Chains A and B, each alone.
Chain A
């Protein structure tokens, strides 16, 4: 049985400017701290949000969001 690849969203803190588009688009996974910078939940992106996650990566004005493979479970 093929297991689906697991992905996580990760923000590059140096590139990020706190514009906040990501939190608007994907509030289920991204919230903003007191200064407007994204707090990205450290969990796998659920399949129903996969499309939104890809959109969020594309819409970031600083290209600061990345989708990467989740680390293997311990």
Chain B
């Protein structure tokens, strides 16, 4: 229905909204990743409370879902390109630029897994939730590749700024996360000591 309307009017708004929301989404997703790392590493800028960071991470990721819906719907509904609704969940099946959009779909799939398990976190238990949450570190580069390939506006200054600025922010966050993991002794260390035999304490038998 939307396609017939725009075909009749020839308006490029769906195209603009789709691509514009995509850029905002990239910036937002990057911010969510940075906040997620900040929640984990416990580092807070200035006097921000830790729970503020945690709740902001959660709230922004839920808001990103709404923005993502706008991005996907406008892209698929746009009559200028033929994508197909299936391509919104199954990667690499789009008629138009299958690979470039396929990365986007993959990012949506990973993101959906992360979000759904987070909403059901208490029921799943900590370990199952965390195992799936690692996918977020995979979802971001996949989304980034999608933004580079599907969008071809890198020549425009502010677009490049958003792209590379987001990449820099996420790279910094990932580095901070890696350093935290390296610095904190894992529980496994103490467990190793308790699993391996040590020198035997002397004992004295009876008379």
Per DSSP, chain B at the interface is: helix
Task: Give per-residue flags for B120-133: 1 if the beta carbon is below 8 A from chain A beta carbons, else 0.
Answer: 01100110010000
Q: Chain B: which residue is nearest A25 at the CB level?
A: B51
Q: Within 8 Å CB of A25, what residues of B?
A: 51
- Check B125–A20 contact: CB distance below 8 A: no
Size range of the interface on A?
10 to 19
Assess the B51–A59 pair: CB atoms within 8 A. yes
Identify whether the interface residues of A are mostly helix, strand, loop, or mixed.
loop
Within the complex, the shortest CB–CB distance from A14 to chain B, in Å, comes to 9
* Nearest 8 pairs of A and B residues by beta carbon: A21-B51, A63-B126, A21-B50, A24-B49, A24-B51, A25-B51, A59-B51, A20-B50
* B49 / chain A contacts, CB cutoff of 8 Å: 21, 24
Distance of B103 from chain A, by nearest CB (Å): 30
B contact residues around A19 at 8 Å (CB): 42, 50
Knowing A24-B49, A24-B50 touch, does A59 contact B42 (C-beta < 8 A)? Answer: no
